[in-house]
Structure 1
Amino acid sequence: MGKFEIKTDNAGKFRFNLKAGNGQVILSSQGYSTKAACENGIESVRKNSQNDAMFERKTSSNGSPYFNLKASNGQVIGSSEMYSGTSAMENGIASVKKNAPDAGVNDTTA
C-alpha cells in the first residue's frame, strides 16, 4: 500500500511525495509555505487522482515522458519523475490512481 511522506526542503518549504508500496516515489509536490497547505495538497491528490482528465501527459525537452496531476482549478499539485517511455509513464499514472486514495501519511517534519 502506498503512502504520502511530508518533509521540509532546504528552503523550509513543506513538500510531499507519494510512494508506491515498493517505496518508489511516484508523485512529488511543489513547495508549500505551511504544513496545512501541504496537507490540503495531499487531499487534492486523493480526490483528483481518480479522474484521468486531471493527468497532464507531457514530454520533457530531452524527449522523456512525464506527467503532472492537476487540481480542478488547473494548478499542478504533483509531478512525476521522467520515464523511459510512454508505457512506463502510463504505469506511473495507474500507480498514482491505485495508491493515492487510501495512502496513509508519514509526517517526517514532526
Structure 2
Amino acid sequence: MAGKYDLKTSPSGKFMFNLKAGNGQIILTSQLYESKAAAENGIESVRTNSPDDNRYERKVSKSNEPYFVLKAANGQVIGTSEMYSGNAAMENGIQSVKTNGPTAPVEDHA
C-alpha cells in the first residue's frame, strides 16, 4: 500500500493535512491553513521539497525525543514529524517522507 496525503478540516475550521506512510502511520503533519487552497499549496510544497535532505531540520524535544521539521526553500516550516524513540527511527521517518512525499495521492476529507 502506498502513502497518501489526508487533507481535512481541523476542529477550529482551518485546514491541514497529514502525510501517511503505506502502513497508515502519520509521518508528517502540516500547520493549520486559513483556506483549503493554502493547504493544497502546502501539499505541493511537500512534494517539491521532500526529496531534498537539506530541507530537513533534525531536532530534539524538551523531553529529549528526536523529531524533524520539513522546510521550504524560504525557510518556512511545511510540516512536523511525530516524536521518535531514537535517531535511527527519526531517520527512517525522514526516508519515508522522501519516498512518499513526491508522489502520494491526496484523499480529500475537507
If the TM-score is normalised by the length of the shorter chain, which range does it land in? over 0.9
Question: Which consecutive segments of 4 or more residues in structure 1 shift more than 6 A?
Answer: none
Q: Percent sequence identity over matched residues? A: 65
Relative to the length of structure 2, the TM-score reads 0.98
Trace 1:84-99 onto structure 2 (pairs within 5 A): 84-99=85-100
For residues 2 and 44 of structure 1, what CA distance do their matches in structure 2 show? 16
Task: Give the superposition deviation at 1:104.
Answer: 0.2
Deviations 1:36-62 (A, max 9, x none): 000000000011001100000000000
Partner of 1:43: 44
Partner of 2:104: 103
Relative to the length of structure 1, the TM-score reads 0.98
For residues 43 and 68 of structure 2, what CA distance do their matches in structure 1 show? 17
Letter of the 2:94 partner, please give it. Answer: I
Trace 1:1-110 onto structure 2 (pairs within 5 A): 1-109=2-110
> 5+ unaligned residues in a row in structure 2: which ranges?
none
Letter of the 1:96 partner, please give it. Answer: V
For residues 102 and 48 of structure 1, what CA distance do their matches in structure 2 show? 12
> 5+ unaligned residues in a row in structure 1: which ranges?
none
For residues 27 and 54 of structure 1, what CA distance do their matches in structure 2 show? 13
Q: Secondary structure at the match of 2:5?
A: strand
For residues 54 and 65 of structure 2, what CA distance do their matches in structure 1 show? 21
Aligned length: 109
Aligned CA RMSD, in angstroms, stands at: 0.4
For residues 52 and 28 of structure 1, what CA distance do their matches in structure 2 show? 18
